[in-house]
């Protein structure tokens, strides 16, 4: 996410920070390079022009050029300007005063609308809501089956009426059913097309007028860049949208859509899809995204994801094990499962300040985690609890049972022992504490 842009901006800022004093000409040169970097990242031309001028006006002020660290001041101005461009603050979906809250999902076919509808339903469920998914895409033959399968996966009911051919009737009936069942959020997965046409717009307008949704959210594929921005502008002009969900952000190294779409449409980005898994939908925080773009990391999102995977009691149990030096292979296996549940490891590393650049040429092989689990699963309960009994013959048996080699077993045991050494450091420090019960 934003990898290409982040690298270019980092190189520009290194030059600025390397100078003791800055002149107006130095700022102009840097801004020309920033302008080019943004254009290469597929950011809308007018957005780039306005952004660079906004930064320039603030950066050539006397208090900046004559400060003790003018380079860092310019970086701060760019960061603040990125936050303004992306939307200043997180924009949540407002809940209706009289339930249910109706959320209408719209977008082109192939943007990930059906999957995103399920992801949003799961997000509401985690917040204690009782969502209902509605299969209102009657154009794509497999859409109803796809949404039904996703609903079953996350244990959320799906209203589907294959015998009804009118989406307005389906949506109206679904809202009535939601009220009867006490469902407080209704998510309508409406039809898309491969391109914008009059039939699609008329159908969406009919649904919108019939059910009067609290929110109309446009699902846009971030990887299509300026096409996504132009599509969003068109939907907003013809249907009227309240917010945007950008999908496939994990595959978009440039980030042009994210940096342009709010400025062009005037509508906030509310969520981003950060991976294919059903729980990979993040609320969009402009300041955190600006931090990622400028290589400052995103520790708050990392902590929030950790809190979702590790509850308070488990965190306290783990801390006691570290204090008592009783951390076993079984505990290692359990923690690795939780870590993998937080999302792709490379995404997590990118949220740690400085780590994204430090790990730039290092590829994290997720298969290694599968291999470690297989090795631990091939151990006997006694071996998992006491590594000292794992001799040569036991290592051969474990290797055969896990489809690995004795060298793999030796490597894992060595890594495990090094990990236990590191944990002793925490013991002397009474544990490394993070907010709200997440601890090591």
The domain spanning residue 54 has which CATH number?
1.20.120.140
Which of residues 193 and 338 earns the better pLDDT score?
193
**How confident is residue 428, by pLDDT bands cut at 50, 70 and 90?**
low
127 lies in the same domain as 21: no
End-of-domain residue from the set 295, 318, 348 = 295
78 lies in the same domain as 115: no
Q: What is the pLDDT of residue 354?
A: 47
What are the C-alpha distances in Å from 438 to residues 61, 320, 328, 343? 43, 13, 20, 17
360 lies in the same domain as 387: yes
Query: CB 357: neighbour CB atoms within 10 A?
Result: 13
Count of structural domains, the chain: 3
Mean pLDDT (the chain, rounded): 81
Q: How far apart are the first and last CA of the chain?
A: 28
278 lies in the same domain as 191: yes
264 lies in the same domain as 308: no
> Percent of the chain having pLDDT more than 70?
78
Q: What is the pLDDT of residue 299?
A: 46
283 lies in the same domain as 307: no
37 lies in the same domain as 140: no
Which of residues 340 and 271 earns the better pLDDT score?
271
End-of-domain residue from the set 60, 86, 112 = 86
Q: What is the pLDDT of residue 423?
A: 66
pLDDT digits over 137-172, tens only? 998 878 999 999 999 999 999 999 888 889 999 999
Q: Is position 43 within any domain?
A: yes
203 lies in the same domain as 335: no
CB 268 within 8 Å of CB 243? yes
pLDDT digits over 388-415, tens only? 899 999 999 999 998 999 999 998 888 8
Q: Is position 428 within any domain?
A: yes
Q: What is the pLDDT of residue 195?
A: 82
Q: Is position 96 within any domain?
A: no
Which of residues 271 and 364 earns the better pLDDT score?
271
Q: Is position 267 within any domain?
A: yes
130 lies in the same domain as 170: yes
pLDDT digits over 178-222, tens only? 999 999 999 999 998 888 888 889 999 999 999 999 999 999 998
Q: Is position 95 within any domain?
A: no
* Residues whose CB is less than 8 angstroms from the CB of residue 305 and which lie 6 or more positions away in sequence, other chains included: 342, 343, 348
Whole-structure pTM over 0.85, yes or no? no
Domain that holds residue 118: 101-295
pLDDT digits over 24-82, tens only? 888 888 899 999 988 888 888 999 999 999 988 888 876 666 665 777 788 888 888 88
Q: What is the mean pLDDT of residues 320-343?
A: 69
Q: Is position 278 within any domain?
A: yes
pLDDT digits over 98-128, tens only? 999 999 999 998 889 999 999 999 999 999 9
Produce one character per residue of 371-404: b if its CB has 16 or more CB atoms within 10 Å, e if not: bbbebbebbeeebbeeeeebeeeebebbbeebeb
Q: What is the pLDDT of residue 340?
A: 65
Q: Is position 327 within any domain?
A: yes
Tokens standing for 31? Answer: 């801004």
CB 136 within 8 Å of CB 191? yes
306 lies in the same domain as 358: yes
Q: What is the pLDDT of residue 110?
A: 86
242 lies in the same domain as 146: yes
Which residues on adjacent β-strands are paired with residue 216? 104
288 lies in the same domain as 159: yes
**How confident is residue 17, by pLDDT bands cut at 50, 70 and 90?**
confident
Q: What is the pLDDT of residue 290?
A: 82
- The CA angle 210-247-79, to the nearest 5 degrees, is 115
End-of-domain residue from the set 262, 278, 295 = 295
pLDDT at 306 over 80: no
């Amino acid at each position: 996410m934003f990898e290409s842009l982040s690298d270019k901006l980092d190189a520009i800022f290194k030059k600025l920070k390397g100078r003791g004093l800055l002149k107006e000409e130095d700022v102009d040169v840097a801004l020309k390079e920033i302008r080019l970097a943004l254009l290469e990242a597929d950011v809308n031309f007018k957005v780039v022009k306005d952004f660079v001028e906004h930064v320039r006006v603030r950066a050539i002020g006397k208090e900046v050029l004559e400060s003790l660290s003018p380079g860092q001041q310019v970086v701060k101005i760019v960061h603040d300007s990125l936050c303004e461009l992306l939307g200043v603050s997180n924009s949540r979906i407002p809940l209706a005063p009289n339930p249910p809250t109706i959320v209408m999902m719209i977008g082109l076919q192939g943007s990930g609308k059906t999957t995103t509808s399920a992801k949003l339903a799961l997000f509401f469920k985690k917040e204690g809501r009782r969502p209902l998914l509605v299969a209102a895409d009657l154009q794509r033959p497999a859409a109803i089956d796809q949404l039904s399968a996703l609903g079953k996966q996350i244990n959320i009911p799906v209203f589907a009426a294959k015998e009804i051919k009118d989406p307005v009737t389906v949506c109206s009936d679904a809202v009535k059913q939601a009220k009867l069942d006490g469902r407080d959020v209704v998510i309508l997965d409406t039809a898309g097309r491969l391109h914008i046409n009059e039939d699609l717009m008329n159908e969406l307008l009919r649904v919108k007028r019939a059910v009067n949704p609290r929110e109309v959210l446009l699902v846009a594929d971030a990887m299509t860049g300026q096409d996504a921005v132009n599509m969003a502008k068109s939907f907003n002009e013809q249907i009227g949208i309240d917010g945007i969900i950008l999908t496939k952000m994990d595959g978009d190294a440039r980030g042009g859509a994210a940096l342009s779409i709010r400025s062009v449409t005037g509508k906030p980005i509310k969520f981003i899809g950060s991976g294919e898994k059903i729980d990979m939908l993040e609320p969009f925080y402009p300041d955190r995204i600006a931090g990622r773009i400028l290589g400052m990391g995103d520790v708050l999102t990392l902590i929030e994801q950790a809190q979702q995977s590790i509850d308070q009691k488990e965190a306290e149990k783990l801390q006691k094990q570290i204090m008592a030096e009783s951390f076993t292979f079984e505990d290692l296996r359990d923690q690795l499962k939780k870590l993998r549940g937080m999302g792709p490891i490379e995404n997590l590393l990118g949220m740690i300040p400085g780590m994204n650049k430090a790990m730039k040429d290092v590829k994290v092989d997720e298969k290694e985690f599968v291999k470690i689990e297989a090795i631990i699963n091939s151990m006997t309960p006694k071996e998992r609890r006491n590594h000292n009994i794992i001799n040569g013959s036991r290592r051969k048996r474990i290797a055969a049972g896990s489809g690995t080699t004795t060298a793999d077993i030796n490597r894992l045991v060595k890594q495990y022992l090094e990990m236990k050494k590191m944990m002793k450091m925490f013991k002397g420090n009474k544990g490394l504490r993070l907010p709200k019960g997440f601890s090591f």
